[in-house]
């Protein structure tokens, strides 16, 4: 099926690894131009080189998304360079799991406020293109688990914000949705770190997955790409849980 994304432009935060990198690759495969950012300049340069070598029309920039001015400037520069914005993917997370004040501050600035600032900066461009927003939240935002404190609370706030934004922007033709992944395993990711550093927690998490495995980054990126597509033209304000039946709560 043609997802009608060819020739369009996307912005992806945290595009050098994991779900973000897989999302960049998926959008490029659909014929999109993609501007992506991440905090570490060396990682951005490596990802940009690899993506271009594979034929991707991409532009990588080192941006700390907690820096409001830098994030806003990146959105503006990307829109100018590519002639507009059709899709925005708010993917970055501080992964600040725990109850310490530093974790609360990091989760607020990175998980929540980066999403808010990204959407606000991109909104005029998205209204012109009748584009879409996809924010990556988490199953930790809809149930109490080991990440219930700063991380889970801010991921829940992201879902609430995006749902409100969908209602606010519906008349302008802009859609906004969330994807909430379950446990997602990829090289350099949080679960690989837990596998080595806390094998008991890793074993407990694996036992909770009825499929017997965790998701891949590519499986989450598929959900993001589908929601970003104009084919999903009447899907807005939703939170798509992609967790292999990990969570038990019934969604109404």
Q: What pLDDT shows up at residue 19?
A: 98
137 is catalytic: yes
- The catalytic residue among 107, 108, 155, 229 is 155
Per-residue pLDDT of 6-19, as tens digits, reads: 999 999 999 999 99
Question: Within 173-216, where are the H helices?
Answer: 190-197, 199-208
- What is the side-by-side strand order in the sheet with 175-181? 58-62, 33-38, 9-13, 87-90, 132-136, 175-181, 239-242
161 is catalytic: no
138 is catalytic: yes
Q: What pLDDT shows up at residue 118?
A: 98
Structural domains in the chain plus CATH codes:
9-242 (3.40.50.720)
Is the distance from CB of 114 to CB of 125 less than 8 angstroms?
no
**Which parts of the chain sit beneath pLDDT 50?**
none
- The catalytic residue among 78, 137, 180, 229 is 137
Averaged confidence pLDDT in the chain: 97
Per-residue pLDDT of 84-114, as tens digits, reads: 999 999 999 999 999 999 999 999 999 999 9
90: left (phi over 0), alpha (psi -120 to 50) or beta: beta
Global model pTM greater than 0.95: yes
Q: What pLDDT shows up at residue 143?
A: 92
């Amino acid at each position: 099926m043609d997802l009608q994304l060819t020739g369009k432009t996307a912005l992806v935060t945290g595009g050098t690894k994991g779900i973000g990198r897989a999302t960049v690759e998926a959008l490029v495969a659909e014929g999109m131009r993609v501007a992506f950012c991440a905090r570490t300049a060396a990682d951005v340069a490596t990802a940009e080189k690899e993506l271009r070598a594979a034929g991707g029309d991409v532009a990588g920039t080192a941006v700390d998304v907690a820096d409001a001015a830098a994030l806003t400037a990146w959105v503006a520069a990307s829109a100018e360079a590519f002639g507009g914005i059709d899709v925005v993917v708010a993917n970055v997370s501080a992964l600040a799991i725990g109850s310490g004040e530093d974790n609360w501050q990091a989760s607020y600035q990175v998980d929540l406020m980066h999403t808010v600032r990204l959407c606000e900066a991109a909104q005029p461009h998205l209204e012109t293109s009748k584009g879409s927003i996809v924010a990556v939240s988490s199953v930790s935002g809809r149930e109490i688990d080991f990440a219930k404190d700063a991380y889970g609370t801010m991921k829940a706030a992201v879902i609430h914000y995006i749902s409100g934004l969908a209602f606010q922007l519906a008349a302008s033709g802009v859609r906004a949705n969330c994807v909430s992944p379950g446990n997602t395993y990829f090289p350099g990711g949080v679960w690989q770190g837990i596998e080595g550093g806390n094998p008991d927690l890793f074993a407990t998490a694996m036992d909770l997955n009825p499929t017997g495995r965790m998701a891949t980054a590519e499986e989450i990126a598929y959900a993001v790409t589908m929601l970003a597509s104009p084919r999903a033209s009447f899907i807005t304000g939703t939170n798509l849980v992609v967790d292999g039946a990990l969570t038990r709560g019934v969604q109404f």
